[in-house]
Amino acid sequence: MRLKDKIALITGGANGIGLATVARFAKEGAKIILWDVSDQGKKVVDELIKEGHKAVFKRISVVNATDVQGAVAEAHDHFGRIDILINNAGITRDRTLLKMSKQEWDDVISVNLTGVFNCTQAVAPIMKEQNYGRIVSASSNVAIRGNFGQTNYVATKSAIIGMTKVWAMELGRFGITVNCIAPGFIRTAMTDAMPQDVQKNSIMNIPLGHWGIPEDIANGYLYLASDEAKFVSGICLTIDGGAAR
């Protein structure tokens, strides 16, 4: 098993890509710390425990730095270490620039960007003490090519790439690798809510001719979190079927 006995903290782990990542990591032997704002996470963890895996759930918003610090300390006390952080939690509040409200801007920045900062800043000291860590965050291929109506979302996902490169420089001397993944169109509840014409048009720009599934991204997270990627740091791995950029 590629993550045998590793302790993995996965944010936004109750649904979609996060849920697929939780399942994949557990299958590979990781002990799971699942964070989500939805109580659905408890059902996920209960099922994992029934299957013989070790897992805990915490209902938490990554936006609140004090809560994040407390939850990280709690998880560390429970398992004794934290080896992997998957910054997966994210939201969208799509609107064109001329129509976007300040609240829509703030909401996306708070979860997608500040939330990643909060979680990484809380976990990094533990990884430094261990002289070992794997940090992987969710960017997006729209960070590279832009996307109509997503000023707030694209801003956060572009920033994730930049922060990843900075943190790789700062934390590498402590045995910590820092990377991110840029998914393309992935079939989740979030993307299913997109207008049908937008979905159809998006496929025209994907050479493979179809959207991805959450497991495609979970496999990317797995690689970057495993010791197979021990000499990989500061990169953004694009998983999008070759979508035009």
**Catalytic amino acids?**
153
**Residue 237 DSSP code:** E
Measured CA distances, 240 to 140, 174, 204 (Å): 9, 32, 13
How many whole angstroms separate alpha carbon 40 and alpha carbon 48? 13
Q: How many CA atoms lie within 13 A of 73 on its CB side?
A: 6
| Residues 167 and 178 sit within 8 Å (Cβ to Cβ) | yes
- How many CB atoms within 10 Å of residue 146? 11
Measured CA distances, 48 to 55, 56, 222 (Å): 7, 9, 18
